[in-house]
Amino acid sequence: MNVFRKAEDMQAYSLKKRKEGKSIGFVPTMGYLHEGHIHLIRKARQTDDIVVLSIFVNPLQFGPSEDFERYPRDEKRDLEMAEQEKVDAVFIPDTKEMYPGPMSIQLTVRDRTDVLCGKSREGHFDGVATVLTKLFHLTQPNRAYFGLKDAQQVAVVDALIHDLNFPIELVPVPTVREEDGLAKSSRNVYLNGEERKQAPYLFKALEHGRFLVRNGVNNRETIINEVRNFIKEHTHGKIDYVDLLTYPELKPLDEIDERVILAAAVYFDNARLIDNLIFHPDGELTYDLK
Amino acid sequence: MNVFRKAEDMQAYSLKKRKEGKSIGFVPTMGYLHEGHIHLIRKARQTDDIVVLSIFVNPLQFGPSEDFERYPRDEKRDLEMAEQEKVDAVFIPDTKEMYPGPMSIQLTVRDRTDVLCGKSREGHFDGVATVLTKLFHLTQPNRAYFGLKDAQQVAVVDALIHDLNFPIELVPVPTVREEDGLAKSSRNVYLNGEERKQAPYLFKALEHGRFLVRNGVNNRETIINEVRNFIKEHTHGKIDYVDLLTYPELKPLDEIDERVILAAAVYFDNARLIDNLIFHPDGELTYDLK
């Protein structure tokens, strides 16, 4: 397995593989790999000749009061897991390698960001768009794999790729869950015992909302309120948001007559958890952006 | 010669050529080709296997009061000239093809823009950075060729490529001039007879400034004033700016002790002309960014 710490080396490798006619599947991560990431790697492995994994905790996408310093890191374990999954190349730069000085060029995401997580994380998706643009240029992927747990990120990457004409296919991959339904996340380690028991009710609340749609309820407000009440009833977490929007455009709608996302974020003592479901007006789940 | 009007077709062609191991040289233009462009094409032809020319008058880089509608266009003649120069592919999209809808992603150039032409053309370089990012993704160049007549544009492209890690070599190409020194420009057609006679004094004024540096004058203000006076003496044009800055960083400096650009812009009745010289502290001209 190739481990690159220099942008130049990563790019030279990718360009060489593309020139050899190999397809590259790219899985960008912030490390501390879990089964969700492994799932993305395996998806890439199924389709592409070469799998490139990046591990980079991107300071640009953390707000000043967020957990950049505290974000969990375990490089040794990450590299072992990548090796085990037969990843071809890992790109693991330090901050200075990615941002050697102040940037003259700024990327701003003007749409799909003033809702859901974007609402309380100002500038977060600008940082995501910036680092992905750099990483796409360094890893030259044919396909980029993203988990649908962060469905808003997938919507933003969809806009990034289309607006700037990246020659990349975005592959959204369904959320991987624990047996009790809790979405896998690096931040789950911050939950205490009691919180860990309550956390699956975030998913159950969304499933309750989807159940209502499946049974003919199609009013947005009703569904949002039902989901909120369900979360309040079963957890002591503080709700950041529950929302129901079109997907991937993330626009509000009164009645559900097209593909939607039902999403929620809840603060526990030391972790903010997010989850979502994407489904058609009949309640049928979907993982497709087309 | 391939003529592509669809972004998808252009990109498919470029990716195919790269996969075949061919190098691509890219010459972005707004059309109405003149010898300056031909010079860029020939430079690309010398180095790269495949030469791609784009012709697109980019509305994003024109201000509301600028000459977007009036900008000269002659598609038939442009294509004939490209054919004659053995260009391999011309990309000539319409506005809708490049901007099919409102963009979610915005590029802003925060540095190197509050001086020279950037000062009076708010948002101009944001538009340039945006369209070039799209064109780079569509034409997949190994090298991109830019005329140094717009030296600030070259400085911005240098920042764009470095900040976002484009795998592209920027090749700055010296300004092509008429016999009397006037820099070639699509806008020269707007000059009336008397203005055309005065226009070369823009270049002569800059050469006068460089002559002073070569002879030991190294104070910025003195040189700028001398150049301004020279222009006023020999033309009835209205000076937009005369400036002397480090290159490509475009920072002011008191005494000339590193590579600098001496640049000027002058309004004539129906055209705004720009010109510049880049030279070392000893007055020696340079066309290199390293």
In tens, the pLDDT along B247-287 reads 999 999 989 999 999 999 999 998 999 999 999 999 999 99
Looking at the domain assignment, is residue A290 inside a domain?
no
A26, A157: one domain: yes
B142, B66: one domain: yes
Give the integer Cα–Cα distance in Å for B262 and B218: 12
pLDDT at B67 over 90: no
B59, B135: one domain: yes
A150, A40: one domain: yes
Looking at the domain assignment, is residue A288 inside a domain?
no
Give the pLDDT of residue A289. 81
A133, A199: one domain: no
Give the integer Cα–Cα distance in Å for A96 and B280: 31
Mean pLDDT to the nearest integer, A50-74: 92
Q: A286 in contact with B at a CB cutoff of 8 Å?
A: no
Q: What domain range includes position B217?
A: 186-279
Q: Residue window 127-156, chain B: list those with CB within 8 Å of chain A.
A: 129, 133-134, 137-138, 140, 156
A144, A224: one domain: no
Give the integer Cα–Cα distance in Å for B3 and B30: 15
CB contact under 8 Å between B167 and A15, yes or no, is yes
A151, A250: one domain: no
| The last residue of a domain, from among B173, B201, B219 | B173
HEC assignment per residue over chain A: CEEECCHHHHHHHHHHHHHCCCCEEEEEECCCCCHHHHHHHHHHHHHCCEEEEEECCCHHHCCCCCCCCCCCCCHHHHHHHHHHCCCCEEECCCHHHHCCCCCCEEEEECCCCCCHHHHHCCCHHHHHHHHHHHHHHHHCCCEEEEEHHHHHHHHHHHHHHHHCCCCCEEEEECCCECCCCCECCHHHHHCCHHHHHHCHHHHHHHHHHHHHHHCCCCEHHHHHHHHHHHHHHHCCCEEEEEEEEECCCCCECCECCCCEEEEEEEECCCCEEEEEEEECCCCCECCCCC
ipTM for this model: 0.93
pLDDT at B27 over 80: yes
B29, B141: one domain: yes
- Which range among A165-169, B51-55, B115-119 shows the weakest confidence by mean pLDDT? B115-119
Mean pLDDT to the nearest integer, A249-268: 95
In tens, the pLDDT along A167-188 reads 999 999 999 999 999 999 888 9
- Exposed (0-12), middle (13-18) or buried (19+): which is A84, by Cβ within 10 Å? exposed
Looking at the domain assignment, is residue B13 inside a domain?
yes
B190, B168: one domain: no
pLDDT at A146 over 90: yes
CATH code for position A199: 3.30.1300.10
A21, A99: one domain: yes
pLDDT at A159 over 90: yes
- Alpha-carbon distance A206 to nearest alpha carbon in chain B (angstroms): 28
In tens, the pLDDT along B180-211 reads 999 998 889 899 999 999 999 999 999 999 99
Percent of chain B with pLDDT over 70: 100
Q: Which H or E element spans position B244?
A: strand B238-246
Q: B216 in contact with A at a CB cutoff of 8 Å?
A: no
Selection from A236, A258, A237, A234 nearest residue A248 by Cα: A258
| Chain A residue closest in CA terms to B20 | A19
pLDDT at A66 over 90: no
Looking at the domain assignment, is residue B91 inside a domain?
yes
Give the integer Cα–Cα distance in Å for A250 and A118: 11
Q: Please, are residues A4 and A89 in contact by the beta-carbon 8 Å criterion?
A: yes
| The last residue of a domain, from among B114, B148, B173 | B173
Give the pLDDT of residue B186. 81
The mean of the pLDDT values for chain A is 95
In tens, the pLDDT along A112-124 reads 999 998 888 889 9
B145, B25: one domain: yes
CATH code for position A69: 3.40.50.620
| The last residue of a domain, from among B173, B198, B216 | B173
Which among B105, B112, B167 is the nearest to A107, CB-wise?
A: B105
In tens, the pLDDT along B250-261 reads 999 989 999 999
Looking at the domain assignment, is residue A139 inside a domain?
yes
Looking at the domain assignment, is residue A284 inside a domain?
no
Give the integer Cα–Cα distance in Å for A103 and A110: 19
CB contact under 8 Å between B104 and A156, yes or no, is yes
Looking at the domain assignment, is residue A13 inside a domain?
yes
Percent of chain B with pLDDT over 90: 90
Per CB-CB distance under 8 Å, the chain B contacts of A165 are: 7, 11, 134, 137-138
CB contact under 8 Å between B164 and A134, yes or no, is yes
A118, A236: one domain: no
Structural domains in chain B (count): 2
